[in-house]
Amino acid sequence: MRAIYREEPCKVALNRVNGMPFTWSLNPYMGCVHRCTFCYVRAFEQRADRPAEERYGTSIRVKVNIAERLREQLARPSWAGEPLVIGAATDPYQPAEGRYRLTRACLEVLRDARQAFSVITRGPLIMRDAELLAEASCRADVSVTFSVPTVDELVWRRTEPGTAPPRQRLRALSILVEHGVRASVGMAPLLPGLSDSPEQLARVIEAARAAGACGIWANLLYLKPGTREHFLSCLARDWPELLPEYERLYAGRACLPASATAPARGEVRRLARMHGIRDRRPEPLRPPARDEQLSLLSA
């Protein structure tokens, strides 16, 4: 299904967020061609009367002036320098970024402003900006989270149809870490009966460890009205035997209680400890010392 790209200026770059563990979000695009069946943004798009359900990802808004607006907002006396998240409502490294380079332009503004930020992505294209992210990391608190809920090919293909393979994301993670960027894995969302078994969790964590992940965390599926209908219809198509259990688990609620999420999240923590994955910051790359530079020039 082809997407239509609409080049539209934005009034502001940063948006205040409620109900999230961060205060500000930055989204160079709206709409996402990844079209993940479980994407919680579908619910917001439906309420805003924008393409949702099967139509989600067919219309992408490109905020062509977002870097200029971001520079203006960060320069305001009222800006307190609060951390922000890039990619809370759309993937900042979906394919359109290869053409428009809006995410990169925003990173340059954030680097120059010494502004702390985090990036959430499923897009290996972020490898292109490894050096820029490393520069920003030397000036402020910067982190990247790669969403990798599964490395199972069947589950990935059916639930994340427009994304790059998980192994490509982990390769991108390893390159960022080599550049001194703190890059971690977010196993989210875990899907009951599909990606939350100990065997499935172990496969992701082993792959994350091999890639050099600086940390790892997990959350289970969140099904808000607007997302629920689309996800359950996809589940009925691909895994009909699981539909009754999901209807029972999510009856009258969007998220599972702590008692239901604790086993999988606890297993992730246990496996992370076993494989030596810690919340850490890699050593930043530094230019060669002066005497080393001279020896390189004379070689």
Asked whether the beta carbons of 126 and 152 are under 8 A apart, the reply is no
CATH number for the domain running over 4-298: 3.20.20.70
Q: Does 277 score more than 60 pLDDT? A: yes
pLDDT of residue 96: 96
Give the start-to-end residue ranges of the domains of the chain: 4-298
Q: Which two tokens stand for residue 75?
A: 């320069």
Q: Does 285 score more than 80 pLDDT? A: no
The H or E element containing residue 86 is strand 84-86
pLDDT of residue 1: 66
- What number is the average pLDDT over the span 39-50? 70
Q: Please give the Cα distance from 111 to 115 (Å, whole number).
A: 6
Average pLDDT, the chain: 91
In this structure, what is the dihedral angle of CA atoms 272, 202, 156, 209, given to the nearest 10 degrees? 50
Q: Which residue's structure tokens are 């977010």?
A: 186
Q: Does 47 score more than 80 pLDDT? A: no
CA-nearest of 193, 184, 196 to 150 is 196
CB atoms within 10 A of CB 18: 5
- Give 251's DSSP letter: T
What is the tens place of the pLDDT at every residue in 65-115? Answer: 999 999 999 999 999 999 899 999 899 999 999 999 999 999 999 999 999
Q: Please give the Cα distance from 76 to 80 (Å, whole number).
A: 9
Is the previous residue joined to 189 through a cis bond, with omega within 30 degrees of 0? yes
What is the tens place of the pLDDT at every residue in 213-224? Answer: 999 999 999 998
Q: Where are the alpha helices (DSSP H) in 48-161?
A: 66-75, 96-100, 102-112, 130-137, 153-159
Q: What is the pTM of this model?
A: 0.91
Q: Is residue 49 left, alpha or beta, with left meaning phi > 0 and alpha meaning psi from -120 to 50?
A: left
Asked whether the beta carbons of 60 and 5 are under 8 A apart, the reply is yes
What is the tens place of the pLDDT at every residue in 122-174? Answer: 999 999 999 999 999 999 999 999 999 999 999 999 999 999 999 999 999 99
What is the tens place of the pLDDT at every residue in 243-274? Answer: 999 999 999 999 999 999 999 999 999 999 99
